[in-house]
Structure 1
Amino acid sequence: MRYWLFKTEPDVFSIDHLEREKISFWEGVRNYQARNHLRDDVKKKDLILFYHSSTNPLGIAGIAEVVEERLPDPFQFDPKSKYFDPKSKKEDPRWFGVKIKLHKRFKNFVTLDQIRETEGLEDMIVIRKGGRLSIQPVQKSEFDIILKLGK
């Protein structure tokens, strides 16, 4: 099992949306490094720190779980979608996503400031300068610390 941090803007898709939908397709990733994680590395049963970005405060609202892996993003084929990619072909998709479900809401929202101030989290990608990638690997030790902070 691997651990991840997925960033989302809560006004677009929040942990509340995920809870209502039960299972949701994580679509719209258009960064090649993040795509490569979704295509090659994120696997069924992996756990995800569900991070709210572009809000105040920034931070982690809970945990999601991957229920299906390596799925072509259907929006890449839809000319009406903002995620349409005319170079993508159904027989050779360029963009991928995963299906996720809510695993656990945190009782305590874990803020980015808390992450910055907590021993053992100083190497997390999310707090590094330039660490803007929407799909980021997380070490198990980091995941465990975040889990404790969220209880």
Structure 2
Amino acid sequence: MAYWLMKTEPDTFSIDTLKEMDVSCWEGVRNYQARNMMRDQMKNGDLVLIYHSSCKKVGVVGIAEVVNEAYPDHFQFDPESHYFDPKSDPDNPRWIMVDVAYREHLPLVPLAKIKARPELENMPLVKKGNRLSIMPVTEHEWDTVLAMAGREPVRSYES
């Protein structure tokens, strides 16, 4: 099992939206490095920190679980979609997505507090220039962020 952090803008898709839906595709990833991690490394049962970005209260707000591994992002073929990619070939799709299931809300763990923790200094989230929407999280980083939210470590959820 692996741990991840996925960024989302709450005005577009929030932890509350995910809770209402229970399970949602994580579409619209248009960065090759993030795509490759989703395609090659994300597995069913991996746990995800949901991170709200581009808002007043930036930080970790909840937990999700990968419940369906990589498959083609159908929005890349829809000319009406914001995520349309005219260069993507249905026989060799350029973009993929995974499905994630809501697991729980967490009290906000603000980015400023994450940056202030010396044990999180190597976390990709706090590295300068890292703007990926999906990034790996080590088990130690996972445990530290959960502790900051007042939560015991989580290793799995009964589906």
Report the counterpart of residue 142 of structure 2 in structure 1: 143
What is the alpha-carbon distance in structure 2 between the residues aligned to residue 127 and residue 119 of structure 1?
A: 11
Report the counterpart of residue 114 of structure 1 in structure 2: 113
Amino acid of the structure 2 residue aligned with 1:127: V
What is the alpha-carbon distance in structure 2 between the residues aligned to residue 45 and residue 20 of structure 1?
A: 20
Using the TM superposition, give the Cα deviation of residue 57 of structure 1 relative to its aligned residue in structure 2, in angstroms.
Answer: 2.2
Identity between Structure 1 and Structure 2 (%) = 53
What is the alpha-carbon distance in structure 2 between the residues aligned to residue 60 and residue 92 of structure 1?
A: 34
Using the TM superposition, give the Cα deviation of residue 119 of structure 1 relative to its aligned residue in structure 2, in angstroms.
Answer: 3.3
What is the RMSD computed on CA atoms of the aligned residues?
A: 0.9
Give structure 1 regions of 4+ aligned residues with deviation exceeding 4 angstroms: none
Contact 1:62 1:150 (C-alpha < 8 Å) held by counterparts: no
Amino acid of the structure 1 residue aligned with 2:56: N
Query: TM-score if structure 1 supplies the norm length?
Result: 0.96
Deviation per residue, 1:103-133 (Å, 9 max, x gap): 1211x21000110112311111111110111
What is the alpha-carbon distance in structure 2 between the residues aligned to residue 68 and residue 18 of structure 1?
A: 15
What is the alpha-carbon distance in structure 2 between the residues aligned to residue 12 and residue 131 of structure 1?
A: 21
What is the alpha-carbon distance in structure 2 between the residues aligned to residue 47 and residue 122 of structure 1?
A: 21
What is the alpha-carbon distance in structure 1 between the residues aligned to residue 84 and residue 39 of structure 2?
A: 18
Contact 1:59 1:112 (C-alpha < 8 Å) held by counterparts: yes
Amino acid of the structure 2 residue aligned with 1:39: R
What is the alpha-carbon distance in structure 1 between the residues aligned to residue 149 and residue 118 of structure 2?
A: 15
Question: SS of the counterpart of 1:131?
Answer: coil
What is the alpha-carbon distance in structure 2 between the residues aligned to residue 110 and residue 17 of structure 1?
A: 19
Gaps of 5+ in 2: 151-159
Question: SS of the counterpart of 1:120?
Answer: helix
Using the TM superposition, give the Cα deviation of residue 20 of structure 1 relative to its aligned residue in structure 2, in angstroms.
Answer: 0.2
What is the alpha-carbon distance in structure 1 between the residues aligned to residue 90 and residue 34 of structure 2?
A: 20
What is the alpha-carbon distance in structure 2 between the residues aligned to residue 97 and residue 62 of structure 1?
A: 20
**Aligned residue-pair number:** 150
What is the alpha-carbon distance in structure 1 between the residues aligned to residue 94 and residue 56 of structure 2?
A: 33
Query: TM-score if structure 2 supplies the norm length?
Result: 0.91
Report the counterpart of residue 80 of structure 2 in structure 1: 80
Matched, 1:96 2:116: no
Gaps of 5+ in 1: none
Question: SS of the counterpart of 2:144?
Answer: helix
